[in-house]
C-alpha cells in the first residue's frame, strides 16, 4: 500500500498578503502526512522590477522573461518569497527545505520554442527527479518549490507554478498515493463569480465540457483545469481546487476534479 502525499500549490495573491500567508502556512503545517509545497510570486516580481526601473512585459497575462527578468524572478521566487515561506514553516514545526528546479537537478526543462510569441527564458518541463524528492521526504523534510526550473546547461527558466505542481504530482504518483491541491483565494470553481458559495463540488470530463460551453470556466481557470486533468490522466489519485479551508479535512466546500 502506497504512502499518501499531498502536493499543494499556493497562488501569488496569498503570498503577498502577510495575514493570508500566515493562515495558509498554519493550515499547511497541520496537513497530515508527507507534503510538498509549490509557490509562485509573480506580483512580487513585478513590484521589484518596477522599483529597479525594469519594465515587466506581459502578453495575455503571461510574463515575457528576458535576461533581466530572469535575474528579478530568481531574486524573488528563489530568494525572498521562498525563504520567507521556509522560515515561517520552521516556526510552525515543519522542517522545510527551499528549492528551485536546479537544486538537486529536481526539475529539468527546456526553453520554450518560439512560435507566434517569444516568451524568452520560459521553461517547459521534461522531468522531475522523483528519487531525490523521495529521499528528502524520507528524511522528514518538506520540499518548498519556487517557480524555477533549469535546462541542465546552466540556464534557469521561469516556469508556470501550476504546471510545476502538476508535474511533481505526476512524477511522485508511481511511488505515492498523490493528491494535488490548487489553493487560491476562491472556494473552488464557482457557478456565479459574484457568489462565493456557488461552488461546483465535482467536475468530471463531461461536466467540464458543459461548464466550458456555458462560459463558467474561462480565462485564468482554463490552464489550471488543463493541469488538473493532465495530472489525473497520469495517475495522480485526486485533484482539488479551493481556498485554504480545503486543507481542513472537515471542510467540504471545494471543487474535486475527476475523470
Q: Burial, 79: exposed, middle or buried (Cβ in 10 Å; 0-12, 13-18, 19+)?
A: middle
What is the pLDDT, as a whole number, of residue 83? 97
What is the pLDDT, as a whole number, of residue 250? 80
What is the pLDDT, as a whole number, of residue 144? 98
Domain coordinates in residue numbering, the chain: 4-257
What is the pLDDT, as a whole number, of residue 249? 80
What is the pLDDT, as a whole number, of residue 60? 67
Q: How far apart are the first and last CA of the chain?
A: 22
Q: Burial, 81: exposed, middle or buried (Cβ in 10 Å; 0-12, 13-18, 19+)?
A: buried
What is the pLDDT, as a whole number, of residue 236? 97
Give 26-76 pLDDT, tens digit per residue: 999 999 999 999 998 888 888 888 999 988 887 766 788 999 999 999 999
User: What is the CATH class of 4-257?
Assistant: alpha beta
Q: What are phi and psi of 5, to 5 degrees?
A: -135, 135
> Is the Cβ–Cβ distance between 228 and 182 less than 8 Å?
yes
CB count, 10 Å around CB of 143?
22
> Which cell is 203 given?
467536475
- HEC assignment per residue over the chain: CCCEEEEEEECHHHHCCHHHHHHHHHHHHHCCCEEEEEECCHHHHHHHHHHCCCCCCEECCEECECHHHHHHHHHHHHHHHHHHHHHHHHCCCCCEEEECCCHHHCEEEEECCCCCCCCECEEEEEEECHHHHHHHHHCCCEEEECCEEECCCCCEEECCHHHHHHHHHHHHCCCCEEEEEEECCCCCCECCCCCCCCECCEECHHHHHHHHHCCCCCCCHHHHHHHHHHHHCCCCCEEEEECHHHHCCCCCCCEEECC
Of 248, 199, 222, 173, nearest to 7 by C-alpha is: 173
| Beta bridge pairs of residue 102 | none
Taking the complete model, does pTM exceed 0.75, yes or no?
yes
What is the pLDDT, as a whole number, of residue 61? 66
What is the pLDDT, as a whole number, of residue 240? 97
Q: Please list the ranges in the chain whose pLDDT falls under 70.
A: 60-61
> Is the Cβ–Cβ distance between 39 and 66 less than 8 Å?
no
Amino acid at each position: 500500500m502506497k504512502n499518501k502525499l499531498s502536493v499543494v500549490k499556493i497562488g501569488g495573491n496569498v503570498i503577498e498578503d502577510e495575514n493570508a500567508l500566515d493562515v495558509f502556512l498554519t493550515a499547511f503545517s497541520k496537513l497530515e502526512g508527507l507534503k510538498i509545497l509549490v509557490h509562485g510570486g509573480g506580483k512580487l516580481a513585478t513590484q521589484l522590477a518596477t522599483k529597479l526601473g525594469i519594465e515587466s512585459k506581459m502578453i495575455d497575462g503571461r510574463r515575457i522573461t528576458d535576461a533581466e527578468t530572469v535575474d528579478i524572478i530568481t531574486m524573488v521566487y528563489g530568494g525572498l518569497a521562498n525563504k520567507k515561506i521556509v522560515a515561517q514553516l520552521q516556526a510552525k514545526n515543519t522542517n522545510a527545505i527551499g528549492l528551485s528546479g536546479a537544486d538537486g537537478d529536481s526539475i529539468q526543462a527546456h526553453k520554450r520554442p518560439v512560435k507566434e510569441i517569444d516568451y524568452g527564458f520560459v521553461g517547459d518541463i521534461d522531468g522531475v527527479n522523483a528519487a531525490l524528492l523521495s529521499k528528502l521526504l524520507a528524511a522528514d523534510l518538506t520540499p518548498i518549490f519556487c517557480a524555477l526550473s533549469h535546462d541542465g546547461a546552466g540556464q534557469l527558466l521561469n516556469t508556470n507554478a501550476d504546471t510545476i505542481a502538476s508535474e511533481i504530482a505526476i512524477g511522485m504518483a508511481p511511488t505515492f498515493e498523490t493528491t494535488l491541491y490548487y489553493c487560491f483565494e476562491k472556494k473552488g470553481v464557482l457557478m456565479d463569480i459574484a457568489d462565493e458559495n456557488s461552488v461546483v463540488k465535482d467536475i468530471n470530463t463531461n461536466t467540464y465540457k458543459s461548464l466550458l460551453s456555458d462560459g463558467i470556466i474561462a480565462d485564468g481557470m482554463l490552464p489550471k483545469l488543463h493541469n488538473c486533468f493532465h495530472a489525473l490522466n497520469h495517475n495522480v489519485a485526486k485533484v482539488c481546487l479551493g481556498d485554504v479551508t480545503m486543507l481542513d479535512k472537515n471542510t467540504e466546500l471545494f471543487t474535486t476534479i475527476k475523470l
